[in-house]
């Protein structure tokens, strides 16, 4: 339940005049214009964000460059660590404000924002804070003629552009900012046009805790203008992006100008494989959670269920029952278990996929009830009779729609082949009590993360995709090292 005062404060924050945070100063966008922020739970207007464009991006990149080569380069790793830790403390002290803003702007249940998004962001800052003082290189033994002292060092990659989507805007903004700043880079953050609110609040705390000016910059605006200007800007050294595969492809092309380093976390079509020996009750709960959390707007959502024929009916019935009971409603309603999707456009897209699936021959074997009212609600849905050629099976729906399929052969190669029959390769989930099958299947699945019998995200666990799910990894040591360049130094003695 939201505290009424806190909710009023959050609404007041949303409604105030917002600017761009560039070089430690809140600036009017050059365009002088703004765009609307809405509450997906009821479609109401929350406020307006500044519409940053190419000229603002240019200013932000210059500020980030100056800070990179000046004050931030002179800031010792331990001080970078302290600043990140202080930011984590400041967010923790205002945790409920962030959860409320996330729910108001993204629509997710307040409970989820409180239990996952905000704590995850805090832990990500603390985890990466620890890395600031631990990044280093190796000493290398050379075999050529002469006597050498050879070693490697890790240097910050430079100015980073972070472009984030709307499904977990706060957690994702921090997941990019924390390792970038810990590694000694400076950053320009561009949140999605639908959900800039928590990024705006974050920038105020960055200012409060005393990061030097220009280290963290925030440009709100549209992808085609602000986002495109960032990925094309010659002063940007790296782009880290989460979003659609289509825009990811565009970014790769746009980054070619100065060969920006690029990390891409794109879509997914995660298979959930249920073996005949699985703990069925837990598998049902896990499968339902995996597709209905955040109304299915999760890159790693378990959207393709493959269950052995001996347990298939039980699985479908169980997940369908779950869908039927889910309370779908506005994120601020304490009874809500699944919120709206982020926009009317996304709602139309998801409903369009369900219709296309049925048109192509799929059956709706279970469906919950979308709340009535002006919010962007869609019903949690279980489809059966789906074939590998159907669009619902091949494409990322990014909504609460599960395609359930069965297999009869226990051959692990055959199961893995069906699970791997996708352009994506972000995640895979296996439910089994057979240790050997768990290990063998994990090796055969072409996915960046394989989870056996449950589990969630952790800032220490590398996350990213095989195939068209992206390039590179976020989180863990690999995640922070992606914000560094490795330099080899060889000194003749
Ligand atoms: P996008 O990929 O368009 O948006 C993600 C981010 O990229 C936003 O900040 C967006 O800005 C920005 N962007 C858009 N175009 C450009 C560009 N030319 N150059 C630089 N940045 C750009 O996602 P959508 O919002 O259009 O969602 C569409 C679909 O993408 C979803 O239905 C889902 O399938 C997938 N998706 C996947 C996500 C994931 O986590 N893997 C997350 C979100 C979406 P702006 O908001 O202004 O468009």
In this structure, the residue with its CA closest to atom 13 of ligand 1 is 223
According to the model, what pLDDT value does residue 91 have?
98
Distance (angstroms) between ligand 1 centre and the Cα of 193 equals: 9
Q: How far is the CA of 80 from the centre of ligand 1 (A)?
A: 30
Indicate the angle between helix axes 118-131 and 95-106, nearest 10 degrees: 120
- From first to last of its 493 residues, the chain has per-residue pLDDT tens of 789 999 999 999 999 999 999 999 999 999 999 999 999 999 999 999 999 999 999 999 999 999 999 999 999 999 999 999 999 999 999 999 999 999 999 999 999 999 999 999 999 999 999 999 999 999 999 999 999 999 999 999 999 999 999 999 999 999 999 999 999 999 999 999 999 999 999 999 999 999 999 999 999 999 999 999 999 999 999 999 999 999 999 999 999 999 999 999 999 999 999 999 999 999 999 999 999 999 999 999 999 999 999 999 999 999 999 999 999 999 999 999 999 999 999 999 999 999 999 999 999 999 999 988 899 999 999 999 999 999 999 999 999 999 999 999 889 999 999 999 999 999 999 999 999 999 999 999 999 999 999 988 999 999 999 999 999 999 999 999 999 999 999 999 9
Looking at ligand 1, which residue's alpha carbon is closest to its atom 19? 228
How far, in Å, from the CA of 468 to the mean position of ligand 1?
Answer: 15
Of ligand 1's listed atoms, the one at least distance from the Cα of 265 is 41
Ligand 1 pocket residue status of 57, Cβ below 6 Å: no
Q: Which of 243, 293, 394 is the best mutation target for the ligand 1 pocket, counting ligand atoms within 8 Å of the beta carbon and taking the most?
A: 243
Tell the residue nearest (CA) to atom 15 of ligand 1: 223
What pLDDT is stored for residue 456 in this prediction? 86
Position in ligand 1 atom list of the atom nearest CA 469: 41
What is the predicted pLDDT for the residue at 319? Answer: 98
Question: What pLDDT score does 343 carry?
Answer: 97
Identify the pLDDT of residue 66: 99
Q: Active-site residue numbers? A: 265, 299
Q: Tell me, what's the pLDDT at 109?
A: 98
Question: Ligand 1 pocket, 298 CB below 6 A?
Answer: no
Does residue 192 line the site of ligand 1, with CB under 6 A?
Answer: yes
For ligand 1, atom 16: residue with the closest CA? 223
Please give the pLDDT value at position 98: 98
> How far does Cα 169 stand from its chain's mean position?
7
Q: 228 CB less than 6 Å from ligand 1?
A: yes
Cβ of 345 less than 6 Å from ligand 1: no
Please tell me if the CB atom of residue 465 comes closer than 6 angstroms to any atom of ligand 1: no
Distance 6 CA to ligand 1 centre (A): 30
From 220, 247, 265, 266, the mutation candidate for ligand 1 (largest count of ligand atoms within 8 A of CB) is 247
Q: Give the Cα separation of 408 and 492 in Å (integer).
A: 65
| 252 Cβ closer than 6 Å to some ligand 1 atom | no
* Contact yes or no for 40/109 (Cβ under 8 A): no
What angle is formed at CA 354 by the lines to CA 351 and CA 355, rounded to 5 degrees? Answer: 90
Which residue minimizes the CA distance to atom 40 of ligand 1?
299
Instruction: Output the pLDDT for position 2.
Output: 81
Residue with token string 């009212």? 373
Whether 299 lines ligand 1, by a CB cut-off of 6 Å, is yes
Cβ of residue 223 lying under 6 Å from some atom of ligand 1: yes
Is 396 close to ligand 1, i.e. is its CB under 6 Å away?
yes
**Can you say whether residue 408 is alpha, beta or left, with left for phi > 0 and alpha for psi between -120 and 50 degrees?**
alpha
Expressed in angstroms and rounded, the spacing between residue 247 Cα and the centre of ligand 1 is 6
Give CA–CA dist 259/236, Å, rounded. Answer: 10
Distance 188 CA to ligand 1 centre (A): 17
Any ligand 1 atom below 6 A from CB of 242: yes
User: Could you tell me if the CB of 368 is within 6 A of ligand 1?
Assistant: no
pLDDT at 285: 98
Instruction: Locate the ligand 1 atom nearest the alpha carbon of residue 221 and give its number.
Output: 47
């Amino acid at each position: 339940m939201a505290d009424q005062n806190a909710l009023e404060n959050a609404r007041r924050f949303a409604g105030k005049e917002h600017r761009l945070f560039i070089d430690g100063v809140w600036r009017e966008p050059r365009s002088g214009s703004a765009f609307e922020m809405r509450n997906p739970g009821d479609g109401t207007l929350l406020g307006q964000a500044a519409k940053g464009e190419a000229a603002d991006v240019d200013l932000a990149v210059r500020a980030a460059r100056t800070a990179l080569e000046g004050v931030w380069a002179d800031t010792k790793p331990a001080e970078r660590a302290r600043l990140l830790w202080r930011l984590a403390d400041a967010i923790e002290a205002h945790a409920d404000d962030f959860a409320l803003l996330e729910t108001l702007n993204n629509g997710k249940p307040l409970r989820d924002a409180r239990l996952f998004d905000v704590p995850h962001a805090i832990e990500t800052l603390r985890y990466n804070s620890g890395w600031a003082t631990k990044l280093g290189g190796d000493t290398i033994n050379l075999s050529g003629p002469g006597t050498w002292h050879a070693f490697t060092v890790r240097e910050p990659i430079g100015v980073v552009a972070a472009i984030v989507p709307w499904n977990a805007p706060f957690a994702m903004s921090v997941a990019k900012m924390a390792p970038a700043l810990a590694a000694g880079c400076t950053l320009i953050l561009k949140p999605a046009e639908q959900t800039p609110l928590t990024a705006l609040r974050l920038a105020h705390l960055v200012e409060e805790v005393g990061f030097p000016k220009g280290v963290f910059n925030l440009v709100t605006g549209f992808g085609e203008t602000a986002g495109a200007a960032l990925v094309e800007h010659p002063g940007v050294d790296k782009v880290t992006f989460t979003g659609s595969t289509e825009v990811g492809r565009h970014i790769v092309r746009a980054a070619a100008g100065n060969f920006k380093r690029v990390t891409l976390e794109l879509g997914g079509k995660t298979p959930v494989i249920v073996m005949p020996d699985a703990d069925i009750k837990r598998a049902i709960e896990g499968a339902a959670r995996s597709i209905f959390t955040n109304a299915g707007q999760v890159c790693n959502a378990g959207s393709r269920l493959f269950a052995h024929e001996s347990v298939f009916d039980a699985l479908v019935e169980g997940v369908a029952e779950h869908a039927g009971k889910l309370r779908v409603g506005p994120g601020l309603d304490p009874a809500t278990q699944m919120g709206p999707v982020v926009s009317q456009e996304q709602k139309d897209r998801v409903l369009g996929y369900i219709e296309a699936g049925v048109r192509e021959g799929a059956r709706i074997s279970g469906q919950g009830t979308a709340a009535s009212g002006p919010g962007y609600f869609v019903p949690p849905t279980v489809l059966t009779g789906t074939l590998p050629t159907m669009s619902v099976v091949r494409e990322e729906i990014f909504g609460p729609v599960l395609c359930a399929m069965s297999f009869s052969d226990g051959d692990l190669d055959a199961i893995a082949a069906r699970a791997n029959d996708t352009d994506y390769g972000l995640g895979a989930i296996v439910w089994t009590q057979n240790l050997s099958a768990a290990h063998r299947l994990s090796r055969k699945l072409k996915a960046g993360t394989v989870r056996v019998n449950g589990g969630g995200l952790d800032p220490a666990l590398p996350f990213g995709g095989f195939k068209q799910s992206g390039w590179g990894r976020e989180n863990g040591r690999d995640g922070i090292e992606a914000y560094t360049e490795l330099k080899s130094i060889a000194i003749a003695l």
